[in-house]
Structure 1
Amino acid sequence: MPVELAQVAARTFEVTVEEEGEARIREVFTVSATIAGKLHRIDLHAGDEVLAGKTVVASIGPAAPALLDSRSRAVAEATTAAARSAVDLARAQLAQAEATLNFASSEAERARVLHERAALPKRLLDNALLDQRTAEAAVDSARANLSVRERELESAAAVLSGSDDAGPDPCCVTLVAPVSGRVLRVLTESEQVVQPGAPILEIGNPANLEIVVDLLSRDAVRVREGSQARITGWGGDPLPARVARVEPSAFTKVSALGIEEQRVAVILYLQGDHSARRALGHGFRVIVEITLWRGEGILSIPVAALFRDGSDWAAFVVRDGRARLQPITLGERSDEFAQVLGGLSAGDQVILRPSDRIAEGTRVQAITGG
């Protein structure tokens, strides 16, 4: 039988795990509204640069008052009329108090003159002075009452005027960039009324990228912090990276086939010059290849030569022109090679991709070398 052969030899190979991941900025800052009010239209767009503490990213002014329905307007008009009448009453009370003060002042002056001429007892003079001071206090009280009624009238009139005021709205609050970087997304661009905590835009530093990849839990247990990795599939040259953190908890994720899988998030930091990854942005899709194990001078066999013989691994070894079934003990395994721990020696020739026509003792002839 013609067969393709490969050699068992010492090789350098590594075991990796490959999965689709996502590039993201390590620290993304969301600028939110600090007060309720009318947000002015945002002039910034995604990609614009901002400086920490200097660039004004948003401004919030007072919101317009609520519109009055017919019933509320009728109540407001009645309240205004009542406040206007109260002002008129307070003015009349002030005029009355001033008239009383003028009379009391005249009486006190007359009593003083008579007392100096010894024509009026001291007690009557004291009574006249007391009436004068009481009248002065009544005037002060009437003036204060008039001021209160005037403010009440202004308050009632303001409810009616409300949105009729066409004057410019003073800006209450300006929001500045918390960090230097670029605008990632403008969440609220148009002018509108916002509530406290409403997100407005996101800011981040594109130079501070990291990679997050969700690995199967059985693969994640073999990943160690500091392990080397490669980032590919993003549209540029492969980028070096290292594992920064393996999160301690897993989560359930449903695969494209509808199978529930336990996944673990692994965070990687990019290495090398930033200029090589300048085009890589927040949320970009990438392929992550993490090195789980690497060996040099490892006795190995091509994976294409392996098959199952019961519960053991085996391969066909060519000896004296015949195929011989040989059980093998394997160690680490990659997509191309597997580590041989027992059953084979360096230099052995094995059959690649043996067909069902190959059996113990079958005469074979090599068609290529490996």
Structure 2
Amino acid sequence: MKKKIIVGVIIVALVGIIAGIQISAKNKKEITNVKSTKVEMGDVKMYLSTTATIESKNKKNYIASSTAKISSVKVKVGDKVKKGDTLLTYDTSDLSNQVSSAQIGYENALSQKKDAVDKNSDADVTAGTQAGAQTNASTSSAASQNSLSDEKIKQLNYAIETAKITLDSAKTKLAQNSSIISDIDGVATAVNVVNGQTGSQDTALVVQDISDLKAVVKVGKYDAAKVALGQDATIMNNGKSYKAKVSKIYPTATVNTTATGGDTNLTVELDVLEVAPQLKVNFDSDVDILLNQALGVVKVPAQAILTNKDGTTYLFAVRGGKAVKQIVKLGVQSDAFMEIVSGVKVGNSVILNPGSTVTDGIMVKESVVTGGK
């Protein structure tokens, strides 16, 4: 009998040990490993990251004359140009001859009127003398026929005006087709004509100030509503960054149509605020436009935030070894961090990238991540 009792006790003990092991294993399985980080104070900056084309803020395109022959092209691509420098000259021999011919025509018109007026004055003097000596009808008739009529004066004046217009036109044509002068300081970035060429429908010369640059960005309708004049920006190129600022927002969007469809964009210009030797005209560069920011605020990493179907946002805080679902109100949001207006406090521990296994109230084991990464 005593032997049976001992065997029974041993069996009960084994059952207890096995049950304890099973319970322990079950509890161990219920503990979920999570990565967490601390809620902290800091800055949250919201950027629009996009691509911009670098352009000169001061650019001049010059069209060659369609009639005059180019005598000499004075610059080549890469040459520095000062305002007032001659970029090219024309063969003006024909135009100079036209000015000379028009000048002669104008002087002849003036001479013809002078001769007519002088003859009329002489006739008036003769008529007056003869009228004093005799008053017969034939003498008076001859004097009146020599008198210069108003109609004749109009004709002479019209001839002078016409000759003057012709002369002015010839001079203007000569001035406009004698040379092309640079309006700005800069660099010749395109030369599309050669000596001896006559006429061109394309741009002959381009001068740009490559020391004063801007970045041109195309933004979609959703991002366009966030961009404002004066916003700070950063332009990145070849590992270097340059300060910039939104300086111009076009009043209307443009539609770009392609064979596969089209899109509508708004053009935004940014002034480059510092010397940027790495930036080259017509190259693309990465741009970050600072749309909004909150400085010295409570923040958490963006990967801690989840969204309910009703649009409310929440996260899982860790309290007493458990995951606790916590509704939070957000402020400024960036790709990396979210401003927390309410819901958690600095120093609270929050779970990063909570998957479907993380639910309200489960036991968790933290692996703390510094900086939320």
Identify the TM-score tier after normalising by the shorter chain: 0.5 to 0.7
Confirm whether residue 319 of structure 1 aligns to residue 319 of structure 2: yes
Q: 1:174 and 1:254, CA in 2 relative to 1: closer, same or farther beyond 3 A? A: closer
* Residue in 1 that maps onto 2:249: 246
Q: Answer yes or no: is the 8 Å Cα contact 2:293–2:332 preserved in 1.
A: no
Shift of 1:348: 1.8
Paired AA for residue 198 in structure 2: V
* Residue in 2 that maps onto 1:226: 230
Alpha-carbon deviations, 1:28-66, whole Å to 9, x = none?
111112341333564632211122223333435689xxx
Q: 1:340 and 1:28, CA in 2 relative to 1: closer, same or farther beyond 3 A? A: same
Paired AA for residue 186 in structure 1: V
Q: Secondary structure at the match of 1:218?
A: helix
Q: Secondary structure at the match of 2:303?
A: helix
Shift of 1:325: 1.6
Q: 1:62 and 1:358, CA in 2 relative to 1: closer, same or farther beyond 3 A? A: farther
Confirm whether residue 271 of structure 1 aligns to residue 302 of structure 2: no
Q: Answer yes or no: is the 8 Å Cα contact 2:71–2:195 preserved in 1.
A: yes
Q: 1:21 and 1:189, CA in 2 relative to 1: closer, same or farther beyond 3 A? A: farther
Give the whole-Å Cα distance in 1 for the aligned partners of 2:316 and 2:235: 37
* Residue in 2 that maps onto 1:215: 219
Shift of 1:227: 1.4
Q: Secondary structure at the match of 1:4?
A: strand
Shift of 1:262: 3.3
* Residue in 2 that maps onto 1:338: 338
Give the whole-Å Cα distance in 1 for the aligned partners of 2:258 and 2:272: 27
* Residue in 2 that maps onto 1:181: 186
Q: Answer yes or no: is the 8 Å Cα contact 2:192–2:203 preserved in 1.
A: yes
Shift of 1:225: 1.6
Alpha-carbon deviations, 1:318-337, whole Å to 9, x = none?
11101112222212100111
Q: 1:186 and 1:52, CA in 2 relative to 1: closer, same or farther beyond 3 A? A: same
Q: Answer yes or no: is the 8 Å Cα contact 1:230–1:290 preserved in 2.
A: yes
Give the whole-Å Cα distance in 2 for the aligned partners of 1:202 and 1:334: 42
Q: 1:52 and 1:297, CA in 2 relative to 1: closer, same or farther beyond 3 A? A: closer
Paired AA for residue 267 in structure 1: E
Q: Answer yes or no: is the 8 Å Cα contact 1:323–1:360 preserved in 2.
A: yes
Q: Answer yes or no: is the 8 Å Cα contact 2:65–2:199 preserved in 1.
A: no
TM-score when normalising by structure 1: 0.63
Paired AA for residue 365 in structure 1: K
Confirm whether residue 51 of structure 1 aligns to residue 100 of structure 2: no
* Residue in 2 that maps onto 1:297: 296
1:237 counterpart (240, 249, 270): 240
Q: Secondary structure at the match of 1:238?
A: strand
Give the whole-Å Cα distance in 2 for the aligned partners of 1:360 and 1:259: 47
Superposition CA RMSD, Å: 2.5
Q: Answer yes or no: is the 8 Å Cα contact 2:39–2:345 preserved in 1.
A: yes
Q: Answer yes or no: is the 8 Å Cα contact 1:58–1:176 preserved in 2.
A: no
Q: 1:60 and 1:327, CA in 2 relative to 1: closer, same or farther beyond 3 A? A: farther
Give the whole-Å Cα distance in 1 for the aligned partners of 2:327 and 2:93: 82
Q: 1:57 and 1:264, CA in 2 relative to 1: closer, same or farther beyond 3 A? A: same
Shift of 1:261: 4.0
Show structure 2 runs of 5+ residues with no match: 1-31, 95-176
Q: 1:346 and 1:198, CA in 2 relative to 1: closer, same or farther beyond 3 A? A: closer
Give the whole-Å Cα distance in 2 for the aligned partners of 1:356 and 1:307: 11
Q: Answer yes or no: is the 8 Å Cα contact 1:39–1:61 preserved in 2.
A: no
Q: Answer yes or no: is the 8 Å Cα contact 2:69–2:197 preserved in 1.
A: yes
Show structure 1 runs of 5+ residues with no match: 64-171
Q: Answer yes or no: is the 8 Å Cα contact 1:38–1:62 preserved in 2.
A: no
Give the whole-Å Cα distance in 2 for the aligned partners of 1:11 and 1:255: 45
Give the whole-Å Cα distance in 1 for the aligned partners of 2:285 and 2:309: 39
* Residue in 1 that maps onto 2:59: 28
Q: 1:13 and 1:254, CA in 2 relative to 1: closer, same or farther beyond 3 A? A: farther
